[in-house]
Structure 1
Amino acid sequence: MTGHPILSVSVAGVTLDRDGRVLVIRRRDNDQWQAPGGVLEADETFEQGVVREVLEETNVQVEVEQLTGVYKNLQKNVVALVYRCRYLSGTPTPSDEAAEVLWTDPAEIIKQMAPAFAVRIEDALRLADGPPASRAHDGVAVYGS
């Protein structure tokens, strides 16, 4: 059918270690700090995509715990599903997509992130067993509750 917008689906993982630090990357393409993630492949589930993306970008193996938010970039027509993850193994290592990979204090790294990406970590930390967040953004500013 014509006239329908084409959306891209991405996934990201907000991973915490035993000390409560969050795993983040500084992306090579835009120099921004974000939770690791990327475009979902056609033949994988959301959860498989999160595990793959986190491993590819950080060298860290994770287990998906729960969906914490759904976010739409209104400028790029990208819908991102963000999951809270549990660290299993691996040492953070830079990759083709990540110039830096590190475990850091969530409150400190959130100050360095664009609001549209900081809110993903805030939502993952806030969410216990409540419903996932649903938000839209323009790549910087966040809209929605």
Structure 2
Amino acid sequence: MTLPRHSVSVTGVVVDDQDRVLVIQRRDNGRWELPGGVLELDESIPDGMKREVLEETGVHVEPVRLTGVYKNIKVGVVALVFLARYVSGTPITTDESQAVEWWTVDDVRARMPEVYAVRALDALQATSPAVRIHDGVTLIG
């Protein structure tokens, strides 16, 4: 019998010098989220985060610190979220993003689904990594 397995994703909470957060509107479902995606087998966790942010936004970043671990119990995805420092590049849309914008914290709270907004809020507030569980829509723990 084969047991279900988890997918691991990596996400970057990129903050600019005006304390705005880099967000994308996904092409596949139109949802506003932080840039990130599935970690590839042959890459390190920080390299995966940097690659995903670059692929979805055109922006080069460096990880600052791990800020949270989030599990979607409905689909079995564990997301490792990092506060990231902007290094270079101009935000652009890509094959994966139909819009890329810099949002204030108030924008994140008001316009992003709760289970994704909390990742940015945790990254900006926490001194140690948050560990949370959700079902894709609602935070459970």
TM > 0.5 between the two?
yes
Q: Which runs of 5+ in 2 are unaligned?
A: none
Unmatched runs of 5 consecutive residues or more in structure 1: none
2:85 aligned partner, one-letter code: R
Secondary structure in 1 matching 2:63: strand
| 1:3 Cα offset (Å) | 4.4
TM-score normalised by structure 1 residue count: 0.94
Structure 2 match to 1:122:
121
Report what 1:59 is aligned to. 58
Q: 1:84-95 alignment to 2 at 5 Å?
A: 84-95=83-94
Structure 2 length-normalised TM: 0.97
User: Of 128, 138, 141, which aligns to 1:141?
Assistant: 138
| Post-superposition offset of 1:102 | 1.0
AA aligned opposite 2:105: P
Q: 2:116 and 2:138 mapped to 1: Cα distance?
A: 9
CA distance in 2, matches of 1:96, 1:109: 23
**Residue number in structure 2 paired with 1:104:** 103
Offset, 1:37: 0.2
Find the counterpart in structure 1 of residue 34 from structure 2.
35
What is the deviation of 1:103?
Answer: 1.1
Superimposed CA distance per residue, residues 5-51 of structure 1 (whole angstroms, 9 cap, x where no aligned partner):
21100000000001111100000111111110000000111100000
Q: CA deviation at 1:109?
A: 2.5
Q: What is the aligned length?
A: 141
Distance, in Å, in 2 between the alignment partners of 1:131 and 1:122 is 13
Structure 1 ranges of 4+ moved more than 6 A: none
Contact 1:110–1:121, Cα closer than 8 Å, also in 2: no
- Looking at structure 2, the residues matched to 86 and 31 of structure 1 have their Cα atoms a distance apart, in angstroms, of 26
Q: Give the whole-Å Cα distance in 2 for the aligned partners of 1:132 and 1:74.
A: 19
Query: 1:4 Cα deviation (Å)?
Result: 2.6
Q: Percent of aligned pairs with the same residue?
A: 52
